[in-house]
Amino acid sequence: MTILLGALLVLTYYFLHSIVRRMTKKSEYRDLFPGALELMILKSLSWRPMHGYALAQRLKDISEDYLQIEEGSLYPALQRLLQAGWLKTEIGLSARNRPVRIFKVTEAGEKHLEQEISSVEKMFAGITRVLTLAGQ
């Protein structure tokens, strides 16, 4: 599993620092693979429950601004995760003392996250293998 995680990190680093850096116009950014946004949401919220805006900022910061998660994508994804039972909400206060919905990962969400990470690691291991061996 450590090898797969390492391969995932290498491939992600390669993607972020080689491919995305060459893309200069916003319209040239590539879409995420299906389920990627939900995976990143679950992983981020498993680290710490937060409200939607804080989550969008966290994803942007972690990705070094390579990912711009628009509200039109984030909030529907959060709703899908809530409907699936992988997230729950409670009312909290923002840094500005305003009421916000705080999203938390459920136990079922944690299990789903583990399964999805395993699946993505296998996919990236296969991609890494092809990229490594295709030119030989």
CA distance 32 to 104: 23
* CA distances in angstroms from 83 to 31, 35, 106, listed in the order given: 24, 15, 12
Considering the domain boundaries, does residue 28 fall inside one?
A: no
Using the predicted structure, report yes or no on whether residue 34 has a pLDDT greater than 80: no
Contact criterion met (CB below 8 Å) for 57 and 107? no
| Number of domains the chain is built from | 1
- Residue 11: CA atoms inside 13 Å, Cβ hemisphere, count? 19
Considering the domain boundaries, does residue 91 fall inside one?
A: yes
Which segments within 1-136 are labelled E, that is strand? 87-93, 99-105
Question: What would the mean pLDDT of 6-33 be, rounded to a whole number?
Answer: 48
Domain encompassing residue 6: 2-22+33-126
Q: Which region holds residue 50: left if phi is over 0, alpha if psi is between -120 and 50, else beta?
A: beta
Considering the domain boundaries, does residue 11 fall inside one?
A: yes
CATH of the domain at 8: 1.10.10.10
In terms of Cα–Cα distance, which of 60, 85, 86 is closest to 73?
60
pTM: 0.71
Using the predicted structure, report yes or no on whether residue 90 has a pLDDT greater than 60: yes
Considering the domain boundaries, does residue 132 fall inside one?
A: no
Considering the domain boundaries, does residue 135 fall inside one?
A: no
Considering the domain boundaries, does residue 134 fall inside one?
A: no
Render pLDDT for 43-80 as a digit per residue (tens, 0 to 9): 999 999 999 989 988 988 888 877 777 778 899 999 99
Considering the domain boundaries, does residue 62 fall inside one?
A: yes
